[in-house]
Amino acid sequence: MAYVRGRVRASVNAVEHLVGGLGTATLALGALLWSVIVAVACVGGVGLLAVPGALRVVRSVADRERARLSRWGDRIPTPGPVPDGLRTAVHDPFVRRELGWVGLYSLIGVVAGLVGVALPLYAVQDATFPLWYRLVPPDAAPGIVWWRVDGLADALWVGVLGVGWLAAAIWFSPALARLQAWPGRWLLPPPPGVDLSLRVAELTATRAAALDAHAVELRRIERSLHDGTQNRLVAVNVLLGAARRAVRRNPDRADEILGQAQDAAEQALGELRTVVRGILPPVLDDRGLAGALAGLAGSCAVPCRLEVDVAVRCAASVEATAYFVVAEALTNVVRHSGASRVDVAVRREHGRLLVSIEDDGHGDADETRGSGLTGIRRRVEAYDGRMTLTSPPGGPTRMDVELPCGS
Amino acid sequence: MRIVIAEDDPLLREGLALLLRAEDLDVVATAGTPGEFLVAVDEHAPDVAIVDVRMPPTHTDEGIVAAVEARRRRPGLAVLVLSAYVEQAFATDLFSVGAVGLGYLLKERVGRVEEFLAALHRVAGGGSVIDPEVVAQLLARNRRTDTALSELSPREREVLGLMAEGLGNSAIAERLFVTDGAVHKHIRSIFSKLQLPPDDSADRRVTAVLRYLDGDRR
């Protein structure tokens, strides 16, 4: 049963990919036609002026496909804009591969996409046909059915055919989706050698982001020390001053004031603990990521279900980031979501740490409001990770974070 | 003396009110935001306002801005600004509109109740108070750039600091365990080295010292 459910889920995902792929494939077809027109015009000489424009069109379509494939599997870095000059543009290693891709993908992508979309449609149409066969004339059976349908028995055969389509859709969709993605997976990644320089550019950018995230982090710590702990201690000081004055005049009152001072001191300790825990949680060292997250989940005001499946430990900085992400996300859930439960799942897969937090609150979380989500994104991207947030109005809100394990 | 307190931290706000009320001072209103504070100033016509520098929404210098605005609306309102740390630019902003009835103290001074109350009364009486820490930083900064200041002896620098805090001659003498006459001599010497007019009223002295210390920024 679980096997069937897995197959069905895989094929639903595959159909989703096929539909997306059909979109980029249609664009690729357009880009191909334009390129051919420009190439023909070049024979007469007039087309040369239009070559850079055509290359840019191809690049932008290819970038869409790169983004689509990156969302789905291994990341494909984007090479940036096409070089300006005609000569350099033609010699650009990406451009040649992209031109090959546009030709291949216009065919394979469109065909695979159409078949992938048509299969489930036929399945639904034919499987339900016995319910509505009376509504159409006998010789106008729908879809790929060439025989005359007279009466229920014939209609039922069409229904059986629909079930066959369904089986085919479930069976073949994942393979079709892989086939559709193949030209991009083959030709769109940077050729060997070029990859490194791209990687360097990307690392430079993420390093800057890391420094930035670091500064934000310091700012946050400074703020919480100043506005929390220090103010508490000032209050303790003020109350102690008042108590000393009261001792001389009104000893009963002094005791009351000393009580308040002690409360303030306890609050200061509590806040200091929170700040320190936010810097690098000592519990990570003691109990590992699973134990530390269990502590977070246990102290969360919204009931929290936690699933951790991390057999091998990750680098300390990655674990600290994951811990920070969950802590920050749970704070958001408690403060803003109005949720009644929240699920946290952490697992390690192919050298990446995958963290997801989902609540049943009212959704509509906006990254541009408030710095909590921005903070999470920055910290995650600083580690070369990825963060996606889906939060439609009305909920639910789901955050997915992916971090390279670094070990 | 009618007092308004503007402080966003509730615990500290209540602590201050409690302290002052225990001293039979009249705390007529407390406020947690700059907006509430200005309303309270309009409504209660206080003599003194005690204002925290960091207030919502951005927790930077809202308190200073509010204090300057309150003094514009109610000329003669004495303001004692409390700050968690020394930010010289804030002090300079505050005193740029004149030093009469103005004070700038670190929050931790409040715990020394006698000194805090003395400062409060001095400000309410139209005097000026500057935190010793602010003075020390101003001196340290100016010593590097200013030759006149570097001519002061360590003792004279100490006296200058106490003057900036708004202390009178006898109070300075008491702090330094010297005679009034010795203090008087130091002050004359300081004024002549800094080429300041030998005026002896306490607030004029603070103003003069500040203006001198801050001279390179105007």
- List beta partners, residue B129: B103
| Cβ within 8 Å, pair A230-B84 | yes
Domains in chain B: ranges and CATH: 2-130 (3.40.50.2300), 134-217 (1.10.10.10)
Chain A CB contacts of B112 under 8 Å are: 241
Going from the first residue of chain B to its last (218 residues), give the mean pLDDT of each consecutive group of 10, the final group possibly shorter: 92 90 92 94 94 85 90 92 81 74 89 90 88 77 67 84 79 90 87 72 64 52
Q: Which of A99-103, A312-316, A339-343 has the lowest mean pLDDT?
A: A312-316
Do the chains contact at A235 and B12, CB–CB below 8 Å? yes
- What confidence score (pLDDT) does residue B161 get? 80
Question: What gap in Å lies between CA A143 and CA A123, rounded to an integer?
Answer: 10
Q: Tell the residue number behind the tokens 């504070």, with chain if given.
A: B37
Q: What is the mean pLDDT of residues A19-33?
A: 91
- Name the B residues in 85-124 with CB < 8 Å from any A CB: 85, 107-108, 110-113, 116
List the single best residue of B12, B16, B105 to mutate versus A (max A Cβ within 10 A).
Answer: B12
Nearest chain B residue (CA) to A237 = B111
Q: For residue B197, how many other CB atoms are within 10 A of its CB?
A: 7
Q: Are B18 and A231 in contact (CB < 8 Å)? A: no
pLDDT digits (tens, 9 = 90+) for A248-283: 888 888 998 999 899 889 888 877 877 776 666 777
Say if the Cβ atoms of B84 and A246 lie within 8 Å.
no
Q: Decide if B11 and A253 are in contact by the 8 Å CB cutoff.
A: no
CB contact under 8 A, B15 and A223: no
The shortest C-alpha distance from A249 to chain B (Å) reads 10
The interface predicted TM-score of the complex, written ipTM, equals: 0.75
Q: Is A124 within 8 Å of A158 (Cβ atoms)?
A: no
Q: What pLDDT score does B218 carry?
A: 35
Over residues B85-132, the pLDDT tens digits come to 877 777 777 777 677 888 889 988 898 898 899 999 989 988 888 888
What pLDDT does B144 receive? 62
Which member of A226, A239, A264 has the closest CB to residue B84?
A226
Min Cα separation B10/chain A (Å): 10
Q: Cβ(B101)–Cβ(B126) under 8 Å?
A: yes
Using the beta-carbon criterion (under 8 Å), do B113 and A241 form an inter-chain contact?
yes
Q: What is the pLDDT of residue B17?
A: 93
Residues of A within an 8 Å Cβ radius of B: 223, 226-227, 230-232, 234-235, 237-242, 244-246, 253, 257, 260, 264, 267
- In this structure, are residues A366 and A378 in contact, taking their beta carbons and an 8 Å threshold? no
- Cα–Cα distances (Å) from B194 to B71, B130, B188, B190, in that order, read 31, 20, 10, 6
Contacts of A237 in chain B (CB under 8 A): 107-108, 110-111
CA distance A293 to A321: 12
Of the candidate ranges A8-22, A63-77, A201-215, B185-199, the one whose mean pLDDT is the lowest: A201-215
DSSP state of A302: S
Region of poorest pLDDT, from A130-139, A177-186, B8-17, B61-70: A130-139
Dihedral, CA of residue B11, residue B13, residue B16 and residue B22, to nearest 10: -80
Q: Which of residues 40-79 of B touch A (CB under 8 A)?
A: 54, 59
- How far apart, in Å, are the Cα atoms of A105 and each of A18, A25, A168, A175, B62? 13, 6, 23, 16, 60
The answer to whether the CB atoms of A230 and B12 lie below 8 A apart is no
Share of chain A above pLDDT 90, in %: 22
Average pLDDT, chain A: 84
Tell if the CB–CB gap between B22 and A239 is shorter than 8 Å. Answer: no
pLDDT given for residue A310 in this prediction: 85
Q: Chain B: give the shortest CA distance to residue A290, in Å.
A: 36
Measured distance CA(A132)–CA(A169) in Å, rounded: 23
Give the C-alpha separation, A329 to A339, whole Å: 12
DSSP 3-state of A307: strand
Confidence band of A371 (pLDDT split at 50, 70, 90)? low
d(CA A235, CA A319): 36
Output the pLDDT for position B204.
64
Q: What is the chain B residue with the closest CA to A260? A: B15
Give the pLDDT confidence score for residue B82 in this predicted structure. 92
Q: What is the arithmetic mean of pLDDT over A321-333? A: 88
Collapse the DSSP code of B77 into the 3-class scheme (helix H, G, I; strand E, B; otherwise coil) and give the result: coil
Name A233's Cβ contacts closer than 8 Å, sequence gap at least 6: A264, A265, A268
Q: What was the pLDDT predicted at B160?
A: 82
Q: Stretch A118-135: mean pLDDT, rounded?
A: 86
